[in-house]
Amino acid sequence: MAQTAFAALGHEGRLAVFRLLMRFAPHPVRPSEMAAALDLKANTLSGYLSDLTQAGLIHAKRDGRSLYYQVDLAACEGLVGYLVNDCCRGRPEICPQEASLSHTSPYRVLFLCSGNSARSIMAESILNTLGKGRFVAYSAGTRPNGAVHPMTLALLERNGHDITGLTSKDIATFQTEDTPAFDFVFTVCDLAASEECAPWIGQPLSAHWGLPDPVKVTGTEAEKALAFAQTYSQLFHRIKAFVALDDNRRIDGLSRLSLQAQIDQISES
């Protein structure tokens, strides 16, 4: 299996598809979304998906009339285990350790979306409120709108959040040599998750907590306001569950693998 998997990943196009699916893992992705994100023709993408499926790295699932693909995490875990066991046999000094999260208190968390005008701004404000000093949250956009949406600010203010200093920022703001390392990076929209980003300093844990963009909702002012309120509610419950992971400083004692599994589960709840 290892030889087949390495051969499949040795092709630039197939590797790009696999990396895209891994950024969304454990969530599935439609072929049309992959083709748009990677600028691939449908028949080319179909060939790559077939090769990766035959290699056992991904699998397809059908939901009604729609077909989705997702990474086979168990197979990938086995592949990594094969590499570690082979490379580290008899040489424990170079064997990677399943260490706990390394950080300097408080935990630094970055929320990413495309426009940085609604979802990521809400998440930043919610975590800074619920985190009570144990977490410091920031947000940015891959294609920032340049201003926070007025409905975002009004909703946050009604819910008791401090909106002072909230701005729409480019992701590049947090990718300089002077940027302190983040402990967690969460994408809250599919577009941000599908885009390639430079490696983050400190190798933060990451997860995809995608939600529909309330800014794109059309209709009456009441319907738009409802979309913003629903987005806020979903983010509030996810972030509340995330903060609960650190009750009695439990995050310090969790391994990276265990913590990764738990932040992935939060997005599925």
Looking from the CA of 72 toward its CB, the CA atoms found within 13 Å total 17
Q: Tell me if 88 sits within 8 A of 95, measured CB to CB.
A: yes
Q: Which pairs count as long-range contacts for 9-12, CB under 8 Å and 24+ apart, including other chains?
A: 9/55, 9/57, 11/48, 11/51
**Selection from 205, 212, 162, 163 nearest residue 182 by Cα:** 205
Active site residues: 113, 189, 197
Q: How far is CA 50 from CA 9, 46, 62, 124, 167, in A?
A: 13, 6, 15, 39, 43
CA dist 204 and 10 (Å) reads: 26
The CA distance from 194 to 37, in Å, is 6
